[in-house]
Amino acid sequence: MINSIFIIDDDAITVFGIRKLLATVVSCTNITNFSNGKLAMEHFENLGNDNELPDIIFLDLNMPIMDGWEFLEAFIKLPIKQKITINIVTSSINSLDRDKSNTFKNRTHHKITYNTKPLNKDEIQNITNPAKQQH
Amino acid sequence: MKSHIKNSTDYLIKQLPKATAYVNLNMNIIHISDSWVNTFEFSRNLSDDSNILNAFPLLSNEWQQDLEYAFLGFKNIARKDKYFDRDNKLNWLEWIIHPWYDEKENVIGAIIQIENISKTIELEQKVEKLELLLNAKSEIAKIGSWEYNVITNKLTWCKMTKLIHEVPLDYCPSIEMALNFYKEGYSRNLVRQRVEKAMKDGDTWHEKLQLTTAKGNDIWVQASGKAIFDDGKLVGLIGSFQDITEEVKVQQKTKDSEVLLRTLIDNLPLNVFIKDLESRKTLVNKSECDYLGMSNDEIIGKDDFELFHKESAEISRKEDLHIVQSLTPMIRKETLNIKKDGTKTMFLTSKIPLLNDYLEPTGIIGFSLDITHLKEKEKELRRLVHITSLQNKKLINFAHIVSHNLRSHTANFSMLLGFLIKEKSDEERENLLNMLISESDNLLETIDNLNEVVEINTVQNQVSKPIHINTTITKIKKSIKSLLRHKKSRIKNLIDDSVYVNGIPSYVDNILLNVISNAIKFEDPRKECVVEISAKKLKKYTVITIKDNGIGIDLEKNKTKIFGMYKIFHQHNDSRGIGLFISKNQIEAMKGKFVLRSKVDKGTTFNIYFKEND
Nearest-CA distance B610 → chain A (Å): 30
Report pLDDT digits (tens) over A62-96: 887 788 998 999 999 988 888 899 999 988 777 88
Average pLDDT of span B227-246: 88
Looking at domain B124-249, its CATH class is: alpha beta
Inter-chain residue contact B567 with A17, CB threshold 8 Å: no
Q: Cα separation of A61 and A49, whole Å?
A: 27
- Which residues, numbered 80 to 109 in chain A, qualify as contacts with chain B under a Cβ-Cβ cut-off of 8 Å? 91-94
Looking at domain B268-370, its CATH class is: alpha beta
Q: How many CB atoms lie within 10 A of CB B429?
A: 14
Inter-chain residue contact B404 with A118, CB threshold 8 Å: no
The answer to whether B214 touches B180, Cβ cutoff 8 Å, is: no
- Say what percent of chain B tops pLDDT 90: 45
Nearest-CA distance B371 → chain A (Å): 45
**H runs (alpha helix) in B151-185:** 159-165, 175-180
Q: Which value does ipTM take for this structure?
A: 0.86
Whether residue B173 is preceded by a cis peptide bond, meaning omega within 30 degrees of 0, is no
The predicted structure's pLDDT at residue B570: 42
Q: What domains sit in chain A, N to C, each tagged with a CATH number?
A: 5-125 (3.40.50.2300)
Q: Which of A66, A88, A91 to mutate to test the interface with B (most CBs of B within 10 A)?
A: A91
| Whether A19 contacts chain B with CB within 8 A | no
The predicted structure's pLDDT at residue A120: 86
Q: Is A32 helix (H, G, I), strand (E, B) or coil?
A: strand
Report pLDDT digits (tens) over B175-191: 899 999 999 999 999 99
| Whether B439 contacts chain A with CB within 8 A | yes
pLDDT greater at residue B366 or residue B118 = B366
Nearest-CA distance A124 → chain B (Å): 13
What residues does each domain of chain B span? Answer: 2-116, 124-249, 268-370, 376-458, 465-611
Q: Band of the pLDDT at B220, cuts 50, 70, 90?
A: very high
Q: Cα separation of A117 and B316, whole Å?
A: 71
Inter-chain residue contact A93 with B403, CB threshold 8 Å: yes
Inter-chain residue contact A118 with B567, CB threshold 8 Å: no
The predicted structure's pLDDT at residue B451: 82
| Whether B572 contacts chain A with CB within 8 A | no
List of residues 6+ apart from B482 with CB closer than 8 A: none
Q: Is B175 helix (H, G, I), strand (E, B) or coil?
A: helix
Average pLDDT of span B49-54: 78
Q: Which of B542, B544, B541, B543 is nearest to B531 (CA)?
A: B544
Report pLDDT digits (tens) over B338-365: 998 999 999 999 999 999 999 999 999 9
The residue type of B273 is F
Q: Do domains B124-249 and B376-458 have the same CATH topology?
A: no
List of residues 6+ apart from B596 with CB closer than 8 A: B555, B562, B604, B605, B606, B607
Is the pLDDT reported for residue B571 higher than 50?
no
Q: Cα separation of B392 and B401, whole Å?
A: 14
The predicted structure's pLDDT at residue B303: 93
- Which residues, numbered 388 to 417 in chain B, qualify as contacts with chain A under a Cβ-Cβ cut-off of 8 Å? 400, 403-404, 407-408, 411-412, 414-416
Nearest-CA distance B404 → chain A (Å): 5
Q: Band of the pLDDT at B44, cuts 50, 70, 90?
A: very low
Nearest-CA distance B433 → chain A (Å): 12
Is the pLDDT reported for residue B288 higher than 90?
yes
Q: Cα separation of A124 and B55, whole Å?
A: 162
Inter-chain residue contact B577 with A64, CB threshold 8 Å: yes
The enclosing H or E element of B87 equals none
| Whether B577 contacts chain A with CB within 8 A | yes
Inter-chain residue contact A118 with B411, CB threshold 8 Å: yes
A126-135, B210-219, B291-300: least confidently modelled range: A126-135
Q: Cα separation of B189 and B179, whole Å?
A: 9
Q: Which residue of B has its CA nearest to A16?
A: B416
CATH topology of domain B376-458: Helix Hairpins (1.10.287)
Q: Cα separation of B595 and B606, whole Å?
A: 6
Average pLDDT of span B377-381: 93
Q: Is B247 helix (H, G, I), strand (E, B) or coil?
A: helix
Q: Band of the pLDDT at B417, cuts 50, 70, 90?
A: very high
Inter-chain residue contact A118 with B570, CB threshold 8 Å: no
- Say what percent of chain A tops pLDDT 90: 32
Q: Which of A35, A25, A11, A115 is nearest to B416 (CA)?
A: A11
Q: Count residue pairs from A and B with Cβ separation < 8 A.
A: 57
Nearest-CA distance B329 → chain A (Å): 56
> Which one of B404, B412, B571 has the shortest CB-CB distance to A13?
B412
Q: Which residue of B has its CA nearest to A91?
A: B408
Inter-chain residue contact A64 with B411, CB threshold 8 Å: no
Q: What are phi and psi of B339, to 5 degrees?
A: -80, 170
Please state which CATH number belongs to domain B465-611: 3.30.565.10
Residues of B in contact with A68 (CB under 8 A): none
Residues of A in contact with B568 (CB under 8 A): 64-65
Is the pLDDT reported for residue B167 higher than 50?
yes
Task: Say how many Å lie between the first and final Cα of chain A, rounded.
Answer: 6
Torsion of CA A132, A110, A18, A43, to 10 degrees: 110
Residues of B in contact with A65 (CB under 8 A): 568-571
Nearest-CA distance A53 → chain B (Å): 25
Q: Cα separation of B322 and B417, whole Å?
A: 85
Of the candidate CATH numbers 3.40.50.970, 2.60.40.1180, 3.30.450.20, 3.40.50.2300, the domain formed by B2-116 belongs to: 3.30.450.20
> Which one of A13, A62, A94 has the shortest CB-CB distance to B439?
A13
